[in-house]
Structure 1
């Protein structure tokens, strides 16, 4: 975790904490340790008891529900940020979803509706966040999202999320090009497999993690603090020349084709 205060005085939005094993939680802790003020969201009333105590631990000044599939909720979050802070320095988008029936079958068998929902939650919501964040970043900023190696190569049982994450990574490149003139950087972070609640929906995930350990040059898995340290760096001014990239934090798995 970051031991510097490279985010002192910065304001950031963290979307995607579900519990203490969430990648977004590792990132939020790193942002807080680096001095940032945070806005933290939870998915719904069911998630709130798990997320709000974590937000309190980080003294998050803004705590709100956010289901990107519900009309108006994303706008409400940004309206609150505008009223309370008047600006935003970074955003972490760490949400993804695909209906189980579409995720667990062949990609070519996925339903139109399932594909559309997966793309909406996992990819288009990041574009929408960028559009809302843009006017709050007159001095520039950093937009971060979470990808996975399955975007670049076929990973057994990753299924529909592979094409969806590939679209997300492509979106990052186009967003970086469009927002670069305003000093807004856009990057994807691609962690190795982590035992999160979201990952539990992937079939035979334990085998996926075991395979990653076998492939990794470092011979181990990564943890949420490894991801958080990278994201805290990317959110800060020291990463001012890094944009449009997918940065792997996976103990080297991605080089072992």
Structure 2
């Protein structure tokens, strides 16, 4: 039996909530190629479901709770990780959140507390994770986060999350510069609209999905398996010179002028 291209590597995955999660498609792709996975779940409410998914992987993964809004939980999580995996090679950050009021209101109407929560969970959590893992990536590796086209161009109904994703993409570039000398690559994957549970929380998402499918050059929606396959490439040696980039996976939608 041939070894997978990620055999012997350890991956941390944040953001798996259910089998329709973008994070889950990437977790499956990495595990299928031999990576050992450790999944961080937000709390006990999600733990059972995430553990069931982790058990179904080719290499059953470990699950530890970690609320990314709490520094103490981050410390505890990485202490648990160090106990079972002294070295980390891959990290996926597939985490974003904004209070419902902020998502439904115009940007100029966003409340200060809602702004703070949105950027704390959607952006700062990636920086916090990077601060912890950089000391454990002794062999170099990859930090990967998920963005969306609304970070670059105005997407109606995306509101504050567009500004948060823009900050996230800027963070990718600065982290790539900082961590490059350690052999750590940092990239963002930007899929087109995918019918996930999280996406359905965006007002007008169904129309957004329909417009994308009718307008994108390939005239089709993005498939979860394609997201996993692209993340696998970025984790491979073939992507060894790619860092600080936002990789569009949107059936060509981002090349359009309108």
TM-score computed with the length of structure 1 as normaliser: 0.96
Give the match for residue 129 of structure 1. Answer: 129
Residue 152 of structure 2 corresponds to 152
Name the CA distance, whole Å, in 2 between partners of 1:161 and 1:228: 23
| 1:198 to partner: Cα distance | 1.0
Asked whether the 8 Å contact 2:6–2:34 carries over to 1, the reply is: yes
Residue in structure 1 matched with residue 92 of structure 2 by the alignment = 92
Whole-angstrom distance in 2 between the partners of 1:225 and 1:16: 17
Paired residues for 1:228-243 under 5 Å: 228-243=228-243
Aligned-residue offset at 1:61: 4.2
Are 2:93 and 2:144, in contact at CA under 8 Å, matched by a contact in 1? yes
Match of 2:24 in 1: 25
Q: Deviations over 1:35-82 (max 9, x none)?
A: 100001222222223211001112444211121113311222211221
| Alignment correspondent of 1:139 | 139
TM alignment of 1:1-257, pairs within 5 A? 5-58=4-57, 59-257=59-257
1:126-151 alpha-carbon deviations (Å, 9 max, x no partner): 01111100011122110000000000
Instruction: Tell me how many residue pairs correspond in the alignment.
Output: 255
The unaligned stretches of length 5 or more in structure 2 are: none
Q: Give 1:8 deviation, angstroms.
A: 1.0
C-alpha distance in structure 1 between counterparts of 2:83 and 2:223, whole Å: 35
1:224 Cα offset (Å) = 1.5
Q: Tell me which stretches of 4 or more aligned residues in structure 1 moved more than 4 Å.
A: none
Distance in 2, Cα, partners of 1:180 & 1:225: 29
Q: Is the 8 A contact 2:47 2:63 kept in 1?
A: no
What SS does the corresponding residue of 1:87 show, helix, strand or coil?
A: coil
Any unmatched runs of 5+ in structure 1? none
Distance (Å, rounded) in 2 between the aligned partners of 1:220 and 1:46: 35
* Stretch moving more, 71-80 or 224-233: 71-80
Greater relative contact order: 1 or 2 (C-alpha under 8 angstroms, separation 6 or more)? 1
**Alpha-carbon distance in structure 1 between the residues aligned to 2:237 and 2:84:** 23
Are the equivalent residues in 1 in contact too, given 2:51–2:62 (CA < 8 A)?
Answer: no
